[in-house]
Amino acid sequence: MSGQPWHVAMLLPLLVSCSAATSKEPETRLPEHELSGFIIRNALVYPVTDVLVEAPATGRFAGCGNILPRSECRNAFEAIDYRKNEVVVSWKERGEAQSTDPFTLDAPAEAQSGDTLWLEVVIYAPGLAGARLIQP
55 beta partners: 60
Task: Compute the distance between CA of residue 42 and CA of residue 136 in angstroms, rounded to an integer.
Answer: 19
Burial (Cβ within 10 Å: 0-12, 13-18, ≥19) of residue 45: exposed
- Residues 39-94 have pLDDT tens digits of 999 999 999 999 999 989 888 888 999 999 999 999 998 888 877 889 999 999 99
Are 132 and 118 spatial neighbours (Cβ–Cβ below 8 Å)? no
**What span, in angstroms and rounded, lies between the C-alpha atoms of 89 and 126?**
14
d(CA 97, CA 105): 23
